Structure formats: structure tokens, C-alpha cells
Amino acid sequence: MSDLRIPIGIFFTLVGLVVGITGLAAAYRAPLEFANVNLYCGISMLVFGGVMLWLARRSS
């Protein structure tokens, strides 16, 4: 495998999308939740995954 950042980047991009879309749909709520946890965490993971992929692309 050439660069570990690629699978890690793809993984977090996918998980970020799944969690973020769940947040947009506002399908679930947790008892003490006071913000759209899924949406913000989804966006964060999407950004993290994107940065990993960008770093891998830049160094190749």
C-alpha cells in the first residue's frame, strides 16, 4: 500500500457523510442533546477525511 492516509481519508469521508446526512434529516435525538450533534460531528469528520486525502495527494 502506498499511503495509509488514503484509506483513512476515505473512511472518515464516508463516515462523515453518513453521520452528517443523518443529522440533516434530524432523524434521531439524544436525551441531553442541545445541538445537532450528528450534523456538526459529521462535518468535522468529513473535513478531517478531506484533509487526509489532500495531504496524500499533495505528497504523491
Chain residues binding other proteins by CB under 8 A are: 1, 4, 7-8, 10-12, 14-15, 18-19, 22-23, 27-34, 37-38, 40-42, 44-45, 48
Q: Which amino acid is at 11?
A: F
Nearest Cα to 22, choosing from 5, 35, 7, 39? 39
Q: Report the distance separating Cα 53 and Cα 50, nearest Å.
A: 5
Contact between 21 and 43 (Cβ < 8 Å)? no
The nearest distance, CB 42 to other proteins, in angstroms, is: 7
The nearest distance, CB 58 to other proteins, in angstroms, is: 15
The nearest distance, CB 37 to other proteins, in angstroms, is: 5
